[in-house]
Amino acid sequence: MINKKRLGVLLLAGTMIMGMSTTAFAAGNGTPTVGQSNVDQGAKAPIKKNLEMAEGLDVPNATFSFSVTKVTADAPEATIQPIQYATTDEKGTVGADGKYIVSKNSEIQFGTFPHAGEFAYRVTETAGDLTGITYSQESYYLRVQVANTDRGNLYIKTITAEKGTETGDKNNKVGEIVFTNTYRKNASLEIMKNTEGKLADKTKAFEFELTFTKSPTETQDAPTYTGTIKDKNGAAVQGVSPVTVTVGTPATFSLKDGQKLVFDNLPAGTKYVVTEKAAEKDGYTPKVQVLDNGVRGQWYIGKDEESLSSKEHFIGENDNKVMFVNTYNDVPVTGIIMNNLPFILLIGIAVLAFGTLAFLKKRRTSK
């Protein structure tokens, strides 16, 4: 059995090991977050990076850097390792707000403090120039309390942070240092119309309705997007007005065979529903197929006289296309009634007479 003296020694050793090197950070009222250290002053304040993006985007290749500026003149230098993202990073699960939030961490590392006391720093993110990235404007005022041990060494007693202040405000203490960046990217959408069938009317116009729901990373309340109707060669159709759609408000437009409505700059994550509107029974059976962020879906076949919807999809950074095809149902011909039958008969008689004359002439020649 372990005696009391030995048990006391073990407990003391365990306490010392736990206090050797600690990464801790807290807000509140200056509650100590780093245990006493007889080996070094080391404590590290964690930094959290949130990269948010809409559905339809891959994680970008991006590096985020930070700046730690000394406020106290004789404070030691402090550094933060950059945080890196790659396209191979997992996005996790999309949130209820339609965003992915990919989180990573780094930490503030301090040099050797010269004496006990309070040392202040200002922590910000370094703005970069990556396309589509909105950089964080947050600023944190960091207070590091350094104290003396009973043996004359120094240790970091507490680290607290105050958000959104240049000179510090203890009423703005926060529990963690977080920098949030938003990644946005625009993509295109094509809505195409084709007709099939030997008797299909290639000049017939079919009416559609289109509704957009804004991307969760869109900053405008009710953005408006404008598309162009183009022919099969990609040229704008002359005399046809652009189609303007305000988010949340359905817009109508018409397409003929070989035409398409093209939007070139829709934010990824924008949701859409396009519907071919019902018309009087005209002999055309509609079907629709969606190329959803580069993934081709199956054909859905509708019925004559009924509307046909693409269902809701979102804009991704890859190809986004909706293809409507209307097939004219040819009716088998059971009889021919023609008012030019006499002319056909005359032509037939003439051909027969010419053939007979040629045959007789050949026969006389052979004799």
What's the chain's length in residues?
367
pLDDT > 60? residue 4: no
275 pLDDT tier (thresholds 50, 70, 90): very high
pLDDT > 60? residue 336: no
- Give the residue from 323, 52, 54 showing the smallest Cα distance to 186: 54
What are the distances in angstroms from CA 343 to CA 148, 230, 340, 348?
Answer: 119, 45, 6, 9
249 pLDDT tier (thresholds 50, 70, 90): very high
CB 223 within 8 A of CB 216: no
pLDDT > 60? residue 276: yes
State the pLDDT at residue 7: 45
State the pLDDT at residue 167: 80
Mean pLDDT of the chain: 86
State the pLDDT at residue 164: 86
State the pLDDT at residue 135: 97
State the pLDDT at residue 353: 66
State the pLDDT at residue 344: 57
pLDDT > 50? residue 53: yes
Is the model more confident about 172 or about 8? 172
Q: Which residue is it, tokens 């396009």?
A: 274
pLDDT in tens, 99-138: 999 999 999 999 999 999 999 999 999 999 999 999 999 9
Query: Tokens for 224?
Result: 């408006």
> Per-residue b/e over 155-168, b at no fewer than 16 CB within 10 Å?
bbbbbbbbbeeeeb
| 53 contact partners, CB below 8 Å, separation of at least 6 | 59, 91, 99, 100, 102, 182, 183, 184, 217, 268, 269
User: What domains can be seen in the chain, in order of their start residue?
Assistant: 19-183 (2.60.40.3050), 186-328 (2.60.40.1140)
pTM of the model: 0.78
C-alpha–C-alpha distance, residues 195 and 201, integer Å: 8
pLDDT > 50? residue 299: yes
pLDDT in tens, 195-224: 999 999 999 999 999 999 999 999 999 999
pLDDT > 60? residue 248: yes
Percent of the chain past pLDDT 70, that is, above it, reads 79
Cβ neighbours, 10 Å, residue 175: 11
pLDDT > 60? residue 310: yes
State the pLDDT at residue 110: 95
State the pLDDT at residue 361: 63
Q: Where are the beta strands (DSSP E) in 247-297?
A: 251-255, 260-267, 271-276, 284-292, 295-296
DSSP string, 133-171: EEPP--EEEEEEEEEE-TTS-EEEEEEEEEET-SS--GG
